Amino acid sequence: MTDTTAEIVLFEGFDELDAIGPYEVFENAAQAGASLETDLVTLEETDLVTASHGLRVEPDGTLGEPDLLVVPGGGWTTADGGVRAAVDDGVLPEAVDETYTKGATVASVCTGAMIFAEAGLLEGRPATTHDVALEDLAETATVVDERVVDDGDILTAGGVTSGIDLALWLVEREFGADIADAVSDEMAHDRRGSVFA
């Protein structure tokens, strides 16, 4: 059986938990029997990426052609770094759009949804994000008041810790409730909120 490949794309100023929460869920799912391989990637080769709270992460490589691409948030309300800078730059939204066009499922955590909005992926679609960006998101998407929104090949999650619930939902959707429950137990995480699907 071929592994499902998941890539979590990192950029300067990303929120730590937005990326590391799903990464840990996916790694635990693989240990619990899911045929899932997860990498932390960047758009360009780099030795380290610095997150919003100063954590420095060594990526596994650069963006490939994953089955699933997860985009964290962070930094929507700041002028330097993070999602705001990525949207202004335009390179990451373009890469997300290209990855989606090639057939990947894409999922955002927190204000990562604004990268999807900039890429034109959320036009008229149900979505959610962190409270600080809901008004901005409403300019393109149909905002849904749920922790996780699953619109098939595009998923979005609310603020920060909701990335763990998003990842657990993806594990359940793709590999079954037993594996998702095992991961939830391993991480001592009580899943919160319902999934809009």
- HSE-up of 43 (CA within 13 Å, CB side)? 14
Determine which one of 34, 49, 68, 110 is catalytic: 110
Q: Report, in angstroms and rounded to the nearest whole number, the Rg of the chain calculated over CA atoms.
A: 15
Q: Is 78 part of the annotated catalytic residue set?
A: no
E-only strand ranges, the chain: 4-9, 36-42, 49-50, 56-57, 61-62, 68-71, 105-109, 126-127, 142-143, 148-150, 154-157, 195-196
Cα–Cα distance for residue pair 13/82, rounded to 1 Å: 4
Phi/psi at 31 (nearest 5 deg)? -65, -25
Cα–Cα distance for residue pair 16/39, rounded to 1 Å: 15
What amino acid positions are annotated as catalytic residues? Answer: 110
